[in-house]
């Protein structure tokens, strides 16, 4: 077993070096998602370690002027286990939980950036998610989400745009995740009823307006009944208030499942309501271009070994409110997941202005909004 510099730290929890996991599950991963956004700009990037597959991979995506550009990166994780870098994409944790730097030196899609993400509020540790299928634990993960502001610059086709405290978010998740790593199907006779995944509607929303920031997420069943909810509000005076529920009225572009606006009402632990109005912030994005859901050219998922590398691949394709089922051109139309990341302008209580990272999808039938 190989030692690395981080093994000099006294935080081991199993009798192995850090690069050897306590589980041999090929779906274990640990990594980050970053996004920053402004009017008609949505920039996202991520980096993820898959130790049991000897893989580190990542992506950079730009949704702008009705087009999505995505670049994906992969290399063998070892021997450079502690280097958070894949070719031109690199991450530097400058001050843990407060400031990180994400850099893309160059790419075949005409995109480069040097961005510093600074925390606006303390991170929110989401409720752990566990899911069994045919008696097998296929999802067992945790995530924290944090509101940020991003500064630096982005170069697009040789033209530089400077970012001065753009709205931004980041998350960090780790654990067993069925959608990561090589496919290992779980099959059998119908399982127990509590093993079924009844989620058909998802909203995951970090946001910031003048005076406070917040986060909430919810999943609902086919009839709109709530399966789970959590959230917090963080005020500029240091108060943190727990949220206990949400009511939503989402507006979709006609003939699509693409969000163009709407409203939501949050209820806090003290029985107070907080009302917000959404309007589209411009070009939205899908996650298949970033490699999720079989978005790689080999139609496999993040965490699949693709060679010593660095391997670099890319796509450019139309996106936007009128595009149904957007996704990389090599993905068959019936397998394209469509847009899920919607940057939105937000107006909160007392007219407070800001933006939200409105992640949303409807999977299959969902009767409250008439989706079949």
Q: What is the pLDDT of residues 56-114, one digit of tens each?
A: 999 999 999 999 999 999 999 999 999 999 999 999 999 999 999 999 999 999 999 99
What local confidence, expressed as pLDDT, does residue 194 receive?
A: 65
> CB neighbours of 265 closer than 8 A, spacing ≥ 6?
246, 247, 248, 273, 274, 275, 276
**Domains of the chain and any CATH numbers:** 26-184+195-369 (2.40.370.10)
- Locate 83 and state its tokens: 């280097």
Model confidence over 286-318: pLDDT tens digits?
999 999 999 999 999 999 999 999 999 999 999
Model confidence over 266-289: pLDDT tens digits?
999 999 999 999 999 999 999 999
Euclidean distance between the first and the last CA atom of the chain, given in angstroms as a whole number? 52
Is the pLDDT at 230 greater than 70? The verdict is: yes
- Locate 362 and state its tokens: 């409807």
How far apart CA 245 and CA 278 sit, in angstroms, is 18
DSSP 213-253: EEEEEEEE-TTS-EEEEEEEEEETTS-EEEEEEEEEEEEE-
Stated pTM of the model:
0.95
235 touches 263 (CB < 8 A): no
How far apart CA 349 and CA 146 sit, in angstroms, is 21
Omega before residue 79 within 30° of 0, cis: yes
What local confidence, expressed as pLDDT, does residue 135 receive?
A: 86
Q: What is the mean pLDDT of residues 157-166?
A: 97
Model confidence over 328-344: pLDDT tens digits?
999 999 999 999 999 99
pLDDT confidence bin for 134, thresholds 50/70/90:
confident
What local confidence, expressed as pLDDT, does residue 105 receive?
A: 98
Short-list 240, 132, 146, 152, CA closest to 193: 132
What local confidence, expressed as pLDDT, does residue 27 receive?
A: 98
Name which residue leads in pLDDT, 19 or 247.
Answer: 247
What local confidence, expressed as pLDDT, does residue 359 receive?
A: 98
The DSSP element (H or E) to which 174 belongs, if any, is strand 159-176
Instruction: For 292-307, give one letter per residue: b (16+ CB within 10 A) or e.
Output: bbbbbeeebbbbbbbe
In the chain, what are the helix, strand and coil shares in percent, each to the nearest 5?
5, 55, 40
How far apart CA 139 and CA 197 sit, in angstroms, is 11
> CB neighbours of 157 closer than 8 A, spacing ≥ 6?
110
What local confidence, expressed as pLDDT, does residue 191 receive?
A: 60
How far apart CA 194 and CA 363 sit, in angstroms, is 19
């Amino acid at each position: 077993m190989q030692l690395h510099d981080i093994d000099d730290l006294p935080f081991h929890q199993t009798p192995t070096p850090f690069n050897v996991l306590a589980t041999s599950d090929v779906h274990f991963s640990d990594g980050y998602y970053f996004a920053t956004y402004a009017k008609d700009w949505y920039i996202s990037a991520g980096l993820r370690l898959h130790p049991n597959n000897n893989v580190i991979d990542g992506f950079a995506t730009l949704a702008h002027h009705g087009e999505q550009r995505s670049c994906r990166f992969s290399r063998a994780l070892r021997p450079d286990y502690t280097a958070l870098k894949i070719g031109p994409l690199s991450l530097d944790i400058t001050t843990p939980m407060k400031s990180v730097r994400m850099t893309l030196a160059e790419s075949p899609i005409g995109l480069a950036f040097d961005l510093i993400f600074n925390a606006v509020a303390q991170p929110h540790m989401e409720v752990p998610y566990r899911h069994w299928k045919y008696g097998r634990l296929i999802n067992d993960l945790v995530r924290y989400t944090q509101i940020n502001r991003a500064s630096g610059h982005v170069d697009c086709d040789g033209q530089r745009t400077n970012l001065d405290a753009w709205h931004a978010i980041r998350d960090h998740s780790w654990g067993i995740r069925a959608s990561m790593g090589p496919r290992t199907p779980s099959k059998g006779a119908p399982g127990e009823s509590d093993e079924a995944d009844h989620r058909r509607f998802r909203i995951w929303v970090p946001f910031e307006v003048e005076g406070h920031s917040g986060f909430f997420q919810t999943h609902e069943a086919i009839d709109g009944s709530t399966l789970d909810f959590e959230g917090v509000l963080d005020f500029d005076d240091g108060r943190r208030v727990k949220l206990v529920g949400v009511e939503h009225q989402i507006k979709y572009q006609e003939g699509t499942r693409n969000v163009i606006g709407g409203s939501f009402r949050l209820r806090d632990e003290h029985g107070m309501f907080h009302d917000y109005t959404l309007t589209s912030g411009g070009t939205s994005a899908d996650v298949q271009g970033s490699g999720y859901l079989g978005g790689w050219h080999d139609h496999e998922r993040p965490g699949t070994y693709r060679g010593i590398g660095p391997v670099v691949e890319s796509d450019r394709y139309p996106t936007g409110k009128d595009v149904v089922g957007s996704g990389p051109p090599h993905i068959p139309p019936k397998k394209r997941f469509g847009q899920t990341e919607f940057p939105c302008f937000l107006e909160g209580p007392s007219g407070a202005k800001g933006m939200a990272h409105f992640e949303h999808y409807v999977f299959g039938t969902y009767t409250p909004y008439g989706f079949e």
